[in-house]
Amino acid sequence: MQFRFSDSLKNIRPSEIRELLKYASAKDFISFGGGMPNPLTFPMNDIREIMDYVLTDYGALALQYGNTGGLNELRTEIKKLVLETEKIKTDEKNIIVTSGSQQGLYELAKVLVNPGDAIITEEPTYVGAISAFDANKAEMHSIQMDNEGMRTDLAEAEIKKLTSEGKKPKFIYTIPTFQNPTGITMSLERRKHLVEIANQYEIPLVEDNPYGELRYSGERLPMLSTLDKDSNVIYLGTFSKVMCPGLRMGYTIGPEEFVNKFNLLKQALDLSSSTFSQYVAWQYLKRGIIKQQIPKSIELYRKKRDAMLKALDEYFPETSTWSRPDGGMFLWATVDKKINTTELLKDAVQEGVAYVSGNAFSPARIQSNSMRLNFTFSEEDQIYRGIEKLGNLIGKKAGVVQSQ
């Protein structure tokens, strides 16, 4: 039989990262590819104790179907968490629990975007967001970044232009803190400007904050959600980086009208997120284990970040540049512009080391000589060896290119 597929997936790119994961477990292979937290940070004993408690005291409920919007007790704890960490004031009815924040990204696009509608993103941006937006046929207009984050002057110009063409963007998507893939944090001035633009042009702002708690240096900056007096910002959170990814727990916070739409869609998507995972996350927050866990992750990851920065200084050719993130899981390196990092990746994998090439994160596909390097998963000695290998490859390639 000849299948007649819909054209809904024609824009989605197969994920290079998922491909790379195949190698990640091979012996001696060094992966800077995936966005995986280090399993040393998983609170294994606490999780075991919590799971046992949940089964004993809530078994019949925790293994049963649950509310589509999420466990009420968990929403209350999320409310407290975002107030304490990011000073975000919200309410249970404004929170919906999602199956990872990836589901939030998909829902967001599905709820707001008709095929062909314009949206604004950073250039580059999170590859999973690109998938979610492509799956809903959003037309991404990606805005150049510098060391202060999204160039909001360029964003405003693009919004003006699109609006004048009758194509006012449906939302602005940003990862303001320790951005994926660049590791860059948006400056306070830019944050204020972005909120101003969103209000002036009446375009919902979406801030995705998976890494906010993982700060190794510098001062915390206010989130867009707190800078916007009208509470119009949609906020995406996740437990993947502050508990573990394997339970697939995330949440979206937004205006009630918005959350209600999410709820309606989520009934069609998966009825509800795992009730059991929700009970575990609830107890993880309620018992305050998250507060013991985050400092441990920070201590571990700070060293790894420092190791990678040191290794880059030592081994990458002088023609390369890279970001110096204050937190998160990634840094972004740009090499000699004659080198195509998608091509280079094949050689790198041969040498036993991987990264994700820049264009995977590029809505405009203009990051052909950049790469995202994850520093949280590998051991420190692997970081040195992996960066040395990459540095040598890049040097060799640049030499060859030069001499051609």
Return the residue matching tokens 């649950």.
66
| Residue numbers 238-277 binding a copy of itself by CB under 8 A | 240, 244-248, 255, 257-258, 261, 264-265, 267-277
Contact call for residue 1 and a copy of itself (CB under 8 A) = yes
370-374 sheet: strands from edge to edge:
321-322, 330-334, 370-374, 356-357
The answer to whether 212 and 225 are in contact (CB under 8 A) is: no
DSSP string, 37-70: PPGGGS-HHHHHHHHHHHHHHHHHHHTS---SS-
**Measured from the CB atom, is 134 or 158 closer to a copy of itself?**
134
Write out the H or E segment, with its range, that includes residue 205: strand 205-208
CA distance 316 to 285: 42
Q: Please report how close the Cβ of residue 23 comes to a copy of itself at its closest, in angstroms.
A: 13
**Measured from the CB atom, is 111 or 339 closer to a copy of itself?**
111
Torsion of CA 125, 128, 130, 133, to 10 degrees: -130
The three-point CA angle 61-292-305 to 5° equals: 120
Q: Please report how close the Cβ of residue 12 comes to a copy of itself at its closest, in angstroms.
A: 5
Binding string, residues 82-111; x marks residues near a copy of itself by CB under 8 A:
-----------------xx-xx--x---xx
Binding string, residues 29-48; x marks residues near a copy of itself by CB under 8 A:
-----xxxx-x--x-x--xx
Contact call for residue 232 and a copy of itself (CB under 8 A) = yes
Piece in contact with a copy of itself (CB under 8 A), picked from 60-68, 76-84, 297-305, 338-346: 60-68
| Residue numbers 116-175 binding a copy of itself by CB under 8 A | 117, 128, 131-132, 134-136, 170
| Residue numbers 314-373 binding a copy of itself by CB under 8 A | none
Contact call for residue 23 and a copy of itself (CB under 8 A) = no
118-123 sheet: strands from edge to edge:
95-98, 250-253, 234-238, 205-208, 172-174, 118-123, 139-146, 149-150
The pair of structure tokens assigned to 352 is: 């036993």
Q: Please report how close the Cβ of residue 239 comes to a copy of itself at its closest, in angstroms.
A: 11
Contact call for residue 283 and a copy of itself (CB under 8 A) = no
